[in-house]
Amino acid sequence: MALTLVTGTTGQVGRRFVPRLLAQARGGERIRVLVRDAARGERFADLGADVVVGDLRDTDTLGKAVAGVDAVVNVAASFRGVPDDEAWAVNRDAAVELGRAAQAAGVRRFVQVSTGIVYGLGRGRPLTEDDETLPGGPMWGAYGESKAAAERELLAMDGLDVRVARLPFVYGEGDPHLAQSLMWAGNWAAAQRLQMGHHADVAQGLLRILRARGIAGRVYNIADDAPVTAVELHQLNGVEIPAELYTRTDPDPWYIITSTDRIRRELGYRPLFPSVYAARDAGAL
């Protein structure tokens, strides 16, 4: 009977991923979720998940969470608006300690959910998983650096089958991210682009990475096929386009624009929503 632990289940990605994972469970497969607040775990318990209550940063909690587990999907992250020390504590330190606990417990697979932000500056073309990670800059604080550090330390662990998923800007199914994008897009050049991915496709990618055999140590980008410009982000949100967008120049046209060739070729990934417009027309925003 296989048991998969998922962390970060009350965040925007986790809360949409877990129901899909539960819906596809077969043959006695079980799902365990780690939550800090028991009340927020009730919806997952109602769907059939085992619930462990505790903080990812607590060593005793990690031991309980990984006991008897076959696979881990570490979705937990500390992102926008948090102090740098909290970003490092959650995104690197807690992730690495979870990896060590998983290693000690004999967990077979560990999926580390990361971000395309680890790439940093563009390379004049879509970014591939073989590109060096160069996170930094004022826009994201310590988020990218802490996620890149977690990747490195987890992938270096002996005896633990680690695979990494690098996510784009995630949206859809009522997620407020699309509206929140205007916090940045309002200060961009008109043609500056954002690489996106719908929750359904993020979940699809994570499930493929979780289940695939023989991919220990592999890194995969997940994204849709059509990065969206600052102008389009305003239009999608029904907001007037600021005139000053047209006076600015995009400083890096390939910033966090990623290639999905590897996950397509190796794992058969094809986005259900190739663009935000496909998701809009399907009523999936």
pLDDT band at 81 (very low <50, low <70, confident <90, very high): confident
Bridge partners, 74 (sequence order): 7, 112
Q: What's the pLDDT at 137?
A: 65
Enumerate long-range contacts of 121-125, CB under 8 Å, 24 or more apart. Answer: 121/252, 121/255, 122/252, 122/253, 122/254, 122/255, 122/256, 122/257, 123/254, 124/254, 125/254
pLDDT band at 1 (very low <50, low <70, confident <90, very high): low
The pLDDT value recorded for residue 28 is 86
Q: Please name the residues in contact with 143: beta carbons below 8 A apart, sequence gap of 6 or more.
A: 77, 78, 79, 80, 87, 91, 115, 117
| Average pLDDT of the segment spanning 160-189 | 96
pLDDT in the model for residue 139 = 63
pLDDT at 140: 67
How many Cα atoms sit within 13 Å of 76 on the Cβ side? 29
pLDDT range class, residue 167, cuts 50, 70, 90: very high
Instruction: Give pLDDT tens digits for 35-76.
Output: 999 999 999 999 999 999 999 999 889 999 999 999 999 999
- For 50, the 3-state DSSP assignment is strand
pLDDT recorded at residue 16: 97
Estimate to the nearest angstrom the gap between the alpha carbon of 124 and the chain centroid. 24
The string of pLDDT tens digits covering residues 87-117 is 999 999 999 999 999 999 999 999 999 999 9
10: its two tokens: 């009350």
Q: Residue 79 has what pLDDT?
A: 81
User: pLDDT digits over 211-247, tens only?
Assistant: 999 999 999 999 999 999 999 999 999 999 999 999 9
Domains of the chain from N-terminus onward: 3-167+198-222+259-270 (3.40.50.720)
Predicted confidence (pLDDT) per residue in 124-146, tens digit: 999 999 999 998 766 667 999 99
The mean predicted confidence, pLDDT, of the chain is 95
Average pLDDT over residues 22-40: 94
pLDDT (0 to 100) of residue 27: 85
